[in-house]
Amino acid sequence: MNKTFLITGSAGFIGFHLSKMLLKSNNKVIGVDSLTDYYDIKLKQARIAILKSDSNFIEEKIDITNEQAILKVFKKYNPNIVVHLAAQAGVRYSIENPRSYLDSNIVGTFNILEGIRHSNVEHTLIASTSSIYGSNKNMPYDENQKTDTQVSFYAATKKSCEVISHSYSHIYNLPITNFRFFTVYGPFGRPDMALFKFVKAMKNNKPIDIYNNGNMKRDFTYIDDLIKGITLLLNKIPKVGQPIGKQDTLSDVAPWRTVNIGNSCSQNLMDFVDEIEKNMGFKAIKNFLPMQPGDVKETYANANLLKEITGFKPQTDISIGVKNFCEWYNHFYK
């Protein structure tokens, strides 16, 4: 049966790809986005233009910090499923402008939860982040690990959203899944992420900034794998007392869980740079810098719970993902 999905952050990197996938299956998608100028708004407009070519997509240009506007959208469309992706992203920017993270991530998420509790939503999925694991040293990151030592304000706000969503899930019996994603990349990606920044700089014969002198590792997750993971979770609705497998994070008191979506492969940043150079056909000018405040040296996902729940585990190699991004970049910015 076709459903009505409310996707916040639909003009964003992940929201665009998820909306596109849902529209392919003839679902109705209500896309909520305020098109902030955190990065090039033309890229967001290009994504939205593609989505609007499908008659089942409805754009609602709304800031999620506007509670009354959000409540009106819920009342108007009464969505079956909500995927809340809208957020102020980026670790480094949270040092410069923490207020925007408080407003977008915490107040905005509160408004979405208020809309959900006054509606008949079957399942809510909320985007979280690998940054939540903070200073944890045990690798790979497991959803059952304690996560109380965030090292950036961005991560702290996303942890707060998880905690707040659990309380709403418990009090109002709202089925909620939080998914923690790991360094997502691919076509139509965010310009503030390493892959986009590196390719753009190299195209313009400018140096690329490499932090911690290149001694960094990331669990690079290709966008198609993330979207597949999310879409498979849509129908896996948490139910109290019905855990899936031994590793399930299902709450004892609420229909609520958290799930990692990552490639389960922590790779050296310099290997990622090598792949970019292969696809660009020349070497980058490298500007090695010290570790940045709020950053972590390594991320690495244990994705066994995702596999137990959905039967799927991401596995796209960076050689494929980087190639696809570079081809998209050359076409889009020809």
Prediction pTM value:
0.96
- Contacts (Cβ under 8 Å, ≥6 apart) of 76: none
Q: Write out the two tokens for 316.
A: 């796209």
Coil, helix or strand at residue 268: strand
Marked catalytic residue, from 93, 154, 211, 300 = 154
Q: Write out the two tokens for 190.
A: 């965010």
- Bridge pairing between strands 286-288 and 28-32: unpaired
Q: Which domains does the chain have, with CATH numbers?
A: 4-332 (3.40.50.720)
pLDDT tens digits in sequence order for the chain, 334 residues long: 689 999 999 999 999 999 999 999 999 999 999 999 888 999 999 999 999 999 999 999 999 999 999 999 999 999 999 999 999 988 888 888 899 999 999 999 999 999 999 999 999 999 999 999 999 999 999 999 999 999 999 999 999 999 999 999 999 999 999 999 999 999 999 999 999 999 999 999 999 999 999 999 999 999 999 999 999 999 999 999 999 988 999 999 999 999 999 999 999 999 999 999 999 999 999 999 998 888 888 999 999 999 999 999 999 999 999 999 999 999 999 8
Position 276: which residue type?
I
CB neighbour class for 251 (10 Å; exposed up to 12, middle 13-18, buried from 19): middle
Active site (annotated) includes residue 154: yes
Runs of H (alpha helix) within the chain: 13-24, 41-52, 67-77, 93-96, 98-101, 108-117, 153-172, 194-203, 223-233, 269-280, 304-310, 318-332
Do the Cβ atoms of 183 and 89 come closer than 8 Å? no
Distance CA 125, CA 121 (A): 11
CA distance to 180, 199, 207, 221, 312, per residue, from 318 (Å)? 20, 15, 22, 8, 18
- Contacts (Cβ under 8 Å, ≥6 apart) of 202: 208, 276, 277, 280, 282, 284, 285
